[in-house]
């Protein structure tokens, strides 16, 4: 997961959800650069991680690694509270409070590994920021593992309201 954290950070794709092996996404072509990364999890890029003998490896493409990143983040004072942003088409978007409810909050807190939602907050609690606004209504049942698995209504909501903020119970 330390290696996955670096990959998600380098790609600006949120927090790591899972680190997968065994060519989970299918075997690829080309060189295998290493068979073991030595990341601490705080590096900004994989190039800053150590590795066991770069370019010398003891594996084939049937063991290709994969990473699942969350695609959500809470921008605030801790990892588990702040203004909600969702990654959509490679753009981080703030979420309008008119399109977000308690079931959606349960999914986000779970996806971020932050426990249960404590409070759903408006923009008054957090800096508004300047990201584009997500205005389509999110329709989670509350049991989904990631917010991107929730259905989205195609009609856009009036977003004269605040940006959405969230406080989860988990550790920062």
**Tens of each residue's pLDDT in the chain, 172 residues:** 898 999 998 998 888 888 888 878 888 777 777 667 788 988 998 888 876 665 556 667 777 888 988 888 888 878 888 888 888 888 888 888 888 889 999 999 998 889 999 988 765 566 666 778 888 888 999 999 889 899 988 766 677 556 788 889 886 4
Could you tell me if 45 and 20 are in contact, meaning their C-beta atoms sit under 8 angstroms apart? no
Where does 11-158 have alpha helices with state H?
Answer: 102-111
Q: How far apart are CA 90 and CA 71, in angstroms?
A: 9
Report CA 30 to chain centroid distance, whole Å: 28
Q: Would you state the pLDDT for residue 123?
A: 57
> Mind giving me the DSSP string for 56-117?
--S--GGG--EEEE--EEEEEEETTEEEEEEEETTEEEEEBGGG--HHHHHHHHHHTT--SE
Where does 69-160 have alpha helices with state H?
Answer: 102-111
CB neighbours of residue 21 within 10 Å: 11
**Domains, the chain, ordered by start:** 2-69 (3.10.250.10), 72-168 (3.10.250.10)
Q: Would you state the pLDDT for residue 128?
A: 64
Number of residues assigned to the chain: 172
pTM listed for this prediction = 0.72
Could you tell me if 13 and 71 are in contact, meaning their C-beta atoms sit under 8 angstroms apart? yes
Here the tokens at position 147 are 């917010």
Q: What is the maximum alpha-carbon separation in the chain?
A: 57
Q: Would you state the pLDDT for residue 139?
A: 92
């Amino acid at each position: 997961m330390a290696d996955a954290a670096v990959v998600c950070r380098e790609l600006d794709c949120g927090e790591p959800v899972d680190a997968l092996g065994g060519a989970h996404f299918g075997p690829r072509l080309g060189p295998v650069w290493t068979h073991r990364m030595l990341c601490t999890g705080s590096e900004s890029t994989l190039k800053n991680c150590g590795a066991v003998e770069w370019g010398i490896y003891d594996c084939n493409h049937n063991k290709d690694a994969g990473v699942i990143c969350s695609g959500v983040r809470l921008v605030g004072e801790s990892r588990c509270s702040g203004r909600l942003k969702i990654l959509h088409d490679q753009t981080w978007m703030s979420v309008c409070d008119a399109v977000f409810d308690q079931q959606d909050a349960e999914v986000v807190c779970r996806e971020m590994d932050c426990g249960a939602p404590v409070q759903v907050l408006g923009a008054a609690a957090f800096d508004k920021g300047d990201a584009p606004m997500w205005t389509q209504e999110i329709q989670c049942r509350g049991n989904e593992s990631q917010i991107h698995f929730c259905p989205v209504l195609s009609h856009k909501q009036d977003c004269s309201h605040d940006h959405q903020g969230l406080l989860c119970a988990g550790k920062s």
